Structure 1
Amino acid sequence: MSNSIFRILTLLILAAGSAQAQLFITQTGETSFFSKTPMENISAVNKKVGSVLNTQTGEIVVRMTMTDFNFPNKLMQEHFNENYVESEKYPYAMFRGKIQPIPDLNKPGTYDVSAVGTFDLHGVKKERTLNGKLTVQGDKITLQSDFQVALVDHKIEVPKLVFAKIAEVIDVKNQFTLTKK
């Protein structure tokens, strides 16, 4: 994620909060996905995911560059970017939402949370509730979530020729370790 875009996201979240807001940020979050079919399994990981959390308001933004996903097979990576997510046309995926409930972030521990917001992938915005765990440990907050993305929900078309090799619903995992700014 470019620094200028990340700064803009940070300012947007900060502007929505109060003077007491504390921001926790990462530019090295990890998002991975897995597609399982009887014919082929496909996996990829992106370790350059940016995220900002405003602890005062619970607002969170997650943004990733689609071309930063790495596949074990370069041909899969090429097909992913050119044919499915169309990375030239839709270079980013983003989630912007609010964590509910906001746990007491002054107390170390692990908390079940949900983030309610908008997930934008392939130019299609969908309202989503993502469930996960938030762990407070000193000046670090770790967020973990697993969810599924139906390709049809984001108008990602799979040609009939390869339909048996790509799952209609993709499993997604996120892990972000954010530090106080």
Structure 2
Amino acid sequence: MEKINKIFLLLAGLTLSVPVEAWAQGTLYATSGGQTSFHSSTPAEDINAVNKKTQAILNTTSGEIAVLMNMRDFDFPNELMEEHFNENYMESAKYPKATFKGKLDQTVDVTKNGSHELTATGTFTVHGVSQPRTLKGTLMVKDGSLFLDSDFEVALADHKIEVPKIVFVKIAQIIKVKANYILTPYKK
């Protein structure tokens, strides 16, 4: 419970420009163990990484959603890839977090089981650069839990992530991202 309280305060209070009290008015669902993965594919090399510590909170009354991940929580197949990702490309010491804050464009009745295609419009921030984004996803409601899945792409140039010319052919300029979160009711 303590961990969820910290997530709630961090995401609702810091990530969004919404007072914590306003968030407390709605029905909240949260996770601290969401999975975000990415894939870079080029003819020279495929790179995959996964972050199993993504934090997310959804206010089902207002539709507001916030996602936060620490860049250093991405695990790679080898330590050298992880080191290059954090030090050379993402500059994780300078830009330690990536966030999405926004609002669902559709209303979903979370009291009834079912699957819903939806979009969320907001601001995606990575590498210190914020971009307006509309992300597509699926929200499945099953027995009181919410399963949120989304696939989207991130162009490195949009976030001023530079790839040295020597490894340019090994890293895709557009990265495929997958998000899979299981959100459960937040209890105050």
Same fold (TM over 0.5): yes
1:93 maps to which of 66, 91, 98: 98
Residue 149 of structure 1 corresponds to 154
Q: Give structure 2 stretches of 5+ with no counterpart.
A: none
Alignment of 1:105-116 (within 5 A): 105-116=110-121
3-state SS of paired residue (1:136):
strand
2:22 counterpart of 1:16 = yes
Q: How does 1:42-81 map to 2 (within 5 A)?
A: 42-81=47-86
Alpha-carbon spacing, 1:80–1:94, altered in 2? closer, same or farther (3 Å): same
Q: What's the counterpart of residue 162 of structure 1?
A: 167
Give the letter for the 2:59 counterpart.
Answer: N
Distance 1:2 1:25 in 2: 7
Structure 1 unaligned runs (5+)?
Answer: none
What residue number does 1:84 align with?
A: 89
TM-score under structure 1 length normalisation? 0.94
Residue 15 of structure 1: how far off its partner (Å) = 3.1
Retained in 1: the 8 A contact 2:34–2:52? yes
TM superposition shift of 1:7: 2.1
Q: Secondary structure at the match of 1:161?
A: helix
AA of the residue aligned to 2:91: E
Aligned length: 180
Relative distance call for 1:79 and 1:14 in structure 2 (3 A) is same
The 3-state SS of whatever aligns with 1:162 is: helix
Percentage identity across aligned positions? 52
Task: Give the whole-Å Cα distance in 2 for the aligned partners of 1:151 and 1:6.
Answer: 30
Q: 8 Å contact 2:11–2:67 — kept in the other structure?
A: no
State the alpha-carbon separation in 2 of the partners of residues 136 and 111 from structure 1: 8
| Residue 6 of structure 1, CA deviation | 4.6
1:66 & 1:58 partners in 2: Cα distance? 26
Counterpart secondary structure, 1:163: helix
The separation in 1 between residues aligned to 2:92 and 2:109, in whole angstroms, is: 39
In 2, distance between residues paired with 1:50 and 1:68?
Answer: 11
